[in-house]
Amino acid sequence: MKFDYTCVLLAQKGYFFECEFIKCVHMCTAPSTEIENALPHRLDFEWKTDNNTMDYGVVVMRHMETWFRITVEKWDSGFPLDHTTKKACLTHLRKKYAVQLITSKVNKHRKRIMAEAVEHGKASEIGCN
């Protein structure tokens, strides 16, 4: 018997709309009421993995970045099929999204984190980690 993810997807959609970041930044091209009223569908992608439980956040961010209200058949998330290349792509995207989240103007901890990064860089230069 295959697990029905509908209840999980509906709960995630609810959390998505409660998120302060989403309320502050209009990241979606569709009106929020259209998204809020949409029913979630679990899709099967060629590049999906069954055993990767670490990168789902990166995958969700990539989906939000690359989906522009087009059909699944025309949608290209840019994920390679090759495992090694996919792993390198996920590592790159994880760094990209971390930088975007940390340096975002809506991040209330931005200045402190940036100052800590500068201090960490100075400590690394003298061989102290």
Q: How far apart are CA 129 and CA 120, in angstroms?
A: 7
Q: How far apart are CA 59 and CA 64, in angstroms?
A: 9
Cβ partners under 8 Å of residue 36, min gap 6: 13, 17
Take residue 75 and report the two structure tokens written for it. Answer: 């949608």
pLDDT over 80 at 77, yes or no: yes
pLDDT digits (tens, 9 = 90+) for 89-125: 999 999 999 999 999 988 999 999 999 988 888 777 7
Q: How far apart are CA 112 and CA 114, in angstroms?
A: 5
Res. 60 pLDDT band, cuts 50 70 90: confident
Listed range (35-39, 57-61, 84-88) with the worst mean pLDDT: 35-39
Take residue 57 and report the two structure tokens written for it. Answer: 């956040």
Q: How far apart are CA 49 and CA 70, in angstroms?
A: 23
Q: What is the DSSP letter of 53?
A: -
